[in-house]
Structures are given as C-alpha cells and as structure tokens.
Amino acid sequence: MSEIQVASRYAKSLIDLAKEQNSLELIKLDIDTFISVVSASSQLQAILKNPIINTDKKLGILNELFGGFNPVVLSFFKIVVSKGRSSILFPTAKEFINEYNRIKGTVRATVTSASPLSEAVKAEITQVVQQSLPNGGSVELESKINPDLIGGFVLKVGDRQIDTTIASRLNQLKKEFGRKI
C-alpha cells in the first residue's frame, strides 16, 4: 500500500474521531500548526523519517514540541509513532487538511505570477474560482511568485490548471510555427 493511501486512511480515522469528540475545528488548528512546524524544519522531517531513531525518542520530541496540543492529536501521534509509522505523520497531516477541506466544501487554489498580485486581483480570482464551484463552496487562495514567468499567471485548482503566462503563449506559437514549416 502506498504512503498516500496509508496517510489517507489515518487522516480519515482522525477526522472521524475529531467529529465524534466534537473537536474538529480545534484539531484542525493543531494539525495546521504541526504542518507549519514540520514544513519549516528539515531536521524534524529527517527525525520522523529515520527508522534508526527509537520510538521513545521520537515521542519525546513530539511531546516537547507539541505538548500543548489537543489530547486526541497527541494520542494519535503516539499511536502512529508506536506502530513504526512516524514517517507518514506529515503526509497524514496534509491528508487530514485535504479531507477537512472536502468536508467543509473548501477548494484550495494556487496562483503563481511573475510579480505580487494586488488584493483586488486576488479577490477577483477567488470570486471567479468560487463561481465555478458546483456547490458554491469557499476558496482558499495561495499566492506564489515566480519571476521566470515573464508575465501573466498560472492558476491551479485541484487537478486543473489555467496557464495565461507569456512564456506559455510563446511556446504555443513556437509549436504552431514548427508545424507550418
């Protein structure tokens, strides 16, 4: 079974437990914090993935860093680590957020542009994406900057991508000229 499948199953279990405990929002906040901390620390990522580091040491580190978390999250960490699956904690947390967003009807969109977008442009992009949703869910827009794009933007929503960059258009022209010659 792939890592994503395992992480998805663990995430769904945590979601179910959070719903049962009526603490979905609190647990989501803890998972957001966990993702943020682990993303920022390559050392922590390496510790969680390293099979040589013993379970007690990993649990101690997690307890030290995240001891103020909801007891459900801490128990979940303990179970996953004690099963020798600490390497999937981070993917599980990301899958938890994906599942949470699915439940709440939230769609994550990423817009990459050559320069920073104004708040008005971000709001307009959010509105357009929101209108394209079948159930009128909410949109969580992430903005990235890539100066190599020259101009325009790339919008990713789920598995769909809209590329309006100048570089993309130049490549299309190049292909068209190549076919005509």
Q: Which two tokens stand for residue 54?
A: 């013993």
pLDDT tens for each residue of 125-156: 888 888 887 776 788 888 899 888 777 888 88
User: Whole-number mean pLDDT of the chain?
Assistant: 88
> Is pLDDT at 59 greater than 90 in this prediction?
yes
* Fold designation for 3-102: Peroxidase; domain 1 (1.10.520)
On the CB side of 73, CA atoms within 13 Å amount to: 26
> Element (H or E) spanning 53, and its range?
none
pTM (2 decimals)? Answer: 0.73
Q: Which residues have C-beta within 8 Å of that of residue 24, sequence separation ≥ 6?
A: 15, 18, 100
For the chain, domain boundaries: 3-102, 106-180
Residue 21: DSSP 8-state: T
